[in-house]
Structures are given as C-alpha cells and as structure tokens.
Amino acid sequence: MNGRNYITFLLGQKEISINLEGRNHPFTRLIDHLRDEEGLRDVKEGCGVGDCGACTVVLARPGPEGRLEYVPVNSCLLLLPMVHGCQVITAAHLARNGILHPVQQALVDHHGSQCGFCTPGLVMSMYALWMQDGTTDAVRIAKYLSGNLCRCTGYLPIIDAMQTAMQSRDVPGFQTANEGAYSRLVQIREDQAPIISGHLPHTYTKVFRLSDALDLLSAHPKTRIIAGNTDLGVKFRLPEEPTHYLDISGIAQINGIRYEAGFLELGAARPLEKVRVDCRESLPPLAEMLDLYASTQVRHMATAGGSLGTASPIGDLSPVLLAIGAEVVLQKAGQKRRMHLEDFITGYRTTALQAGEMITHLHLPIPGPGHYNRAYKVSRRKEVDISSVSACFSLEIEEGKVTDLRIAYGGMAAKPLRLRATEELMLGEPWNNATVEEGMAHIRQSLHPICDVRGDASTRSLVAGNLLRRFYLDSLEWQQQQGPTL
C-alpha cells in the first residue's frame, strides 16, 4: 500500500505539516506534542486517562451545511495523526487583539478560577458549547461540563460564567474569527492517500477508504484497530512484539447513519455523541444510556464499534443493544456477514471476529409503538463513572399480558447477559406486580454476579432485581397513555 508519512492540520490559524518520525512519531500523544514541541503549556495534564478534563482542547472539523463542528476532546487520549485535517484550538488561541474571549472574561468576572490548573480545559469545553448554541440552561451546561473536574473553585461560579458568556455571543470578531478555516480543512482532506508511518518495530496506518482498511487487514490479520482511542489510549504502552495499528476514524463510509423502514444502520466509527443525538426519537433507551456514558469529551471520540469490539463486560452500550436485538455487520476482504450481538460477544473480552475482519456497521431494529423500552445505569457517581450494574428492558403487552420481553444486564459477569430463562418465565403472564415479583426472584436466583470494587455480588443481585421493578413502575404511565388496547 502506497501512502505518505506526514499529516497536516491547523493549529489555531497556522497550518502545520509534520513528518511522523523522531519526537513526532505516530504514537505521540497530542498533549505531548502541544506542550513539548509547540510550547502550548496552557494544555495541562492531570489524570492522563481522560477523566479530569484538564487537557481538553477543541477540534474544529468540517461538518454539514458548510459549517465547522467544534468538539471538546481529551488531548491525553488522542494520538498525533488523529488530528489530520482538523483545526486544533487551545485556550492560547481564543483572545483577539489583547481582548479575552467572552468565556474567559466571564470566568474572570465571576471568580470562576482559584488555583487555575483546570481552568484552560474548562475554558475549552465552555468555548465549544459557546460556538454551538446559546443555551443558558444550567442543567445542560452542567451536563456538558461534566468531563471537567474542578476541585477548588466549585461549579456554581463556573455555570454562572457560562450563562453570562452565552449572552455575549454577538460580540464582534469572535464568532466570525474562524470563518476561513472551513475551506482550508476541506482542501487538506481532499488527499485520500493513506498515512503510513513506523516507530520501530511498530507501524501506524491511517486510511480514508474502507477498501484500504480491508486490504491492510487481509495482509496483516492481527492488526489492532483504532477509532477513538478512548480504550487503547488509557495508559497506552506499545507492546514488545511488532504490531500494526490501523486508524479507521477518517473513513466516511462507516461514520454515518441511515434510516430505513423499521431499522437504523449505524456506522461503527460514528462518534457516540452524534449517536446520542441521532437516537433521541427513534431509540430512546440508547440515548438514555448515552446521556450517562462517560463525558462529553469521551463521547466525541468513542465509537459504538470500539465499545463492542473490546467486548468489555462493563460496557454500557451492550445491554441496550442486546435488549433491542441489535446485529453487527462484519467485513473482511471479499466477505460480509451479519451476526446477532448475543452471538458476537463470546466471553470476557472475546468476540467472534475472524482474522482480518472488522466491524463496519450496526443494524439496530427500531421498536414499534407497542413496545416500551427503558435503560438504567447504577454507579457510584452519576457522571463519568463505570456502572456497577446497567440494564435494559424491552416490553410488549397485549390485553394486559406479556407478549414479548427482553432483559439484558451489564457489569454482572464476564460478558453482558440476556436473561432468556426469566423472559420465558414471564411470557404470557399478566403484566402486574405478582409477575414482576416472580421475575425479580428468578433474576436473583439465576444470576451469579462478580464482586469487585464497584459492588459485591449480593448488592449487584439486589440491584438487578430492583431494576425490573423500576421498569415495571415506569411502564404504568406508558400503559395509561396507550389506552385499553394493552
């Protein structure tokens, strides 16, 4: 495969081309390049695993309708080649002619900074939201900033500052300061040649066509795939044995979404933040779970294909996708197949992927109006936390009796579980308190949960049964809305 050994991106308004070698090898983290090579010490490193948000920068990239999308990301998780064709913006790029940006000035005016270590990252998350819309809703602002930890200031003055800044979106010069970047980035992205670089004994390849990805996997079946790097990038260490890495984040063919009668086809490399917005009306339980998934920064990088490909037992997407009957579309050179998710995840971090094969799409059935679906997550923190127990339920009833029921859990065992025996027990029974009590007892008897720092086995068993009751109580209002046909 022929390609090139350099990347091009905008750093602020400056166009930069970098040969991926030496100190700028392809496995260099973006934060290290910005601090060590570009001298941008406003980008801070706190946790180094994408939790604290101190390293937040904004990526601007071409979006629909000829406009740029501004997304906050964790620079400690991004590898340098992943910003090819993007504009990287840090807190040092916001002021104009010595005048602070409105979000910066608002933080000053509202005393939204004390030690200041977290402030540049907070500024960048605030800036991304400021560029997107003019919301002054405190709940939405707090949710958007949930990936930025501040241990000394407290969030009230920060939220107050964001609300004030939103009232200054018409300040001359700041909304229009970046107008020329769109066409420059489009021009950079016109070159679809693969980016190929080595850092002995490893190889990094970034491709922009699905056919190139499949060819590389055919030649090197043990290649490790990178999409958002939110899993692999945590405490990333290169292995001793030579390894090929394939970056698929730039493949447009697996980055979109398509609706057809009764189902949704989701590209495996589509960022989860976009999926969260896409599915709000068509698949509410998926949007519900994504509301509680990681942080804004991580959701802008993470993908559904990556979440399923790692087969993590605590992945929050798997229970939802199991409950709605999702299938994964798998491809390798000359071959394409579709498989139920329940069959795809075979054990602890193991899947049915064949050598040289990759996930390209997810096939998601859209429940009809007679189905009621809800997703739940129980964790020690509401935001940016791993679930102790996650669950999703899908219900259909006719004349008061259960005609279809799917129950799925995550965080309970070596892999996500669908409780078919409990489903069969409740099938055909009246959807009432007695049936639910029987189902709860069966769940607690049949599950043998793991025990770890997030919860012991008895707690998980109790919570798992209680979530079925929660689902039942939530369904009562839905039944009233549906009327006597149920």
Are 337 and 225 in the same domain?
yes
Are 248 and 130 in the same domain?
no
Are 171 and 37 in the same domain?
yes
Are 153 and 124 in the same domain?
yes
Are 350 and 413 in the same domain?
no
Measured distance CA(248)–CA(269) in Å, rounded: 7
Query: What is the reported pLDDT for 15?
Result: 97
Give the residue from 190, 216, 250 where a domain finishes.
Answer: 190
Query: Domain with 291 in it: what CATH number?
Result: 3.30.465.10
Mean of the per-residue pLDDT values for the chain?
94
Beta bridge partners of 16: 9
Are 99 and 6 in the same domain?
yes
DSSP label at residue 37: I
Measured distance CA(2)–CA(478) in Å, rounded: 57
| Residue 484 confidence class, pLDDT cut points 50, 70, 90 | low
Does 373 map to a domain? Answer: no
DSSP label at residue 22: G
Measured distance CA(184)–CA(87) in Å, rounded: 10
Each residue's pLDDT tens digit, 290-333: 999 999 999 999 999 999 999 999 889 999 999 999 999 999 99
The helix/strand/coil state of 343 is: helix
Does 217 map to a domain? Answer: yes
Are 477 and 357 in the same domain?
no
Measured distance CA(358)–CA(332) in Å, rounded: 7
Q: Of 313, 485, 325, 340, whose CA–CA distance to 405 is shortest?
A: 325
Query: What is the reported pLDDT for 65?
Result: 83
- Find the radius of gyration of the CA atoms of the chain: 24
Are 432 and 350 in the same domain?
no
Domain count, the chain: 3
Are 403 and 299 in the same domain?
no
Give the residue from 139, 169, 190 where a domain finishes.
Answer: 190
Does 426 map to a domain? Answer: yes
Are 407 and 352 in the same domain?
no
Query: What is the reported pLDDT for 362?
Result: 98
- Structure tokens of 95? 């002021």
Show the domain range for 469.
389-482
Query: What is the reported pLDDT for 353?
Result: 97
Helices vs strands, H then E, count in the chain: 16, 20
Query: Domain with 396 in it: what CATH number?
Result: 3.30.390.50
The helix/strand/coil state of 224 is: strand
Does 306 map to a domain? Answer: yes
Give the mean model confidence (pLDDT) for residues 373-394: 93
Does 310 map to a domain? Answer: yes
Distance from the Cα of residue 211 to its chain's centroid: 25
Does 165 map to a domain? Answer: yes
